[in-house]
Amino acid sequence: MLHRARDRARVAGLRSVSPGTGAALRLLAASVDAKAVAEIGTGCGVSGIHLLHGMRPDGVLTTVDQEPEHQQSARQAFRDAGFAGNRARFIPGRALDVLPRLADAGYDLVFCDGDRQEYQDYLAESLRLLRPGGLVAFEGVFANGRTVDSGPQPTEVLRLRELVRTVRESTELVSSLLPVGDGLLCVVRR
Ligand SMILES: C[S@@+](CC[C@H](N)C(=O)[O-])C[C@H]1O[C@@H](n2cnc3c(N)ncnc32)[C@H](O)[C@@H]1O
């Protein structure tokens, strides 16, 4: 079923998480015994399927995307993958409008795959959403190698570098940039 979701994403011109990143997401969701996960950037549902596989069988994925048609596609992908309708809550809208409406300390894991320029804001919102010991993961932090390239870079890349610096310098956070896919920055709130 994953291949169908990947094909739909390709047709829609969307990047989906790589198989390696998907496997890591599944592992991370299982390792925090996730009952509640928030995702920014539903896309066509590839990352969501991996997260749902790693979560508890009664866990609910809350997934946010500004494009309702992407969410329709993901809804179909979750159904095709055999997940009951009540395993996912789809919220259409811009991440920074929706996240403030989600419950404080109500989530075990947050996965960020929306607008790279907003990742610092997603971090601030995630730290409010996560329970102590919860985990936030950011997709695409290598930016195809540009994050570590010393040449001039666009704002998006400079923002990603700032994000890496922020989490490394924080005494409240434990982080690791996993070399899967295009770089998955994982951050645990102590
Ligand atoms: C790379 S795709 C997500 C792929 C998905 N996580 C997967 O692996 O299947 C990024 C998605 O984020 C959505 N998006 C981009 N900026 C956003 C924002 N500011 N708020 C909400 N969604 C956003 C896009 O519409 C798109 O569906």
HEC readout, the chain = CHHHHHHHHHHCCCCCCCHHHHHHHHHHHHHCCCCEEEEECCCCCHHHHHHHHHCCCCCEEEEEECCHHHHHHHHHHHHHCCCCHHHEEEEECCHHHHHHHCCCCCEEEEEECCCHHHHHHHHHHHHHHEEEEEEEEEECCCHHHHHHCCCCCCHHHHHHHHHHHHHHHCCCEEEEEECCCCCEEEEEEC
Q: Which atom of ligand 1 is nearest to the CA of 115?
A: 16
Give per-residue pLDDT as tens, 125-170: 999 999 999 999 999 999 999 998 888 889 999 999 999 999 999 9
pLDDT score at 1 = 79
Q: How far is Cα 88 from Cα 124, in angstroms, rounded to an integer?
A: 24
As beta bridge partners, residue 91 has 64
Which residue, judged by its Cα, is nearest atom 7 of ligand 1? 16
How many angstroms from the chain centroid is the CA of residue 37? 9
Q: How far is Cα 14 from Cα 8, in angstroms, rounded to an integer?
A: 9
pLDDT score at 149 = 86
Which residue, judged by its Cα, is nearest atom 27 of ligand 1? 43
What residues in the chain have per-residue pLDDT under 70?
none
Q: State the average pLDDT for the chain.
A: 96
pTM of the model as a whole: 0.98
The CA distances from residue 7 to 52, 112, 127, in Å, are 19, 21, 33
pLDDT score at 116 = 96
Strand bridging mode 184-189 / 173-178 = antiparallel
pLDDT score at 124 = 97
Q: Which atom of ligand 1 is nearest to the CA of 67?
A: 25
pLDDT score at 4 = 92
Residue 186 Cα, ligand 1 centroid: separation in angstroms? 18
Residue 99 Cα, ligand 1 centroid: separation in angstroms? 14
pLDDT score at 50 = 98
**Hey, which of 11, 18, 21, 42 would you mutate to test ligand 1's pocket, going by the most ligand atoms within 8 Å of its Cβ?**
42
| Contact 146 CB / ligand 1 (< 6 Å) | no
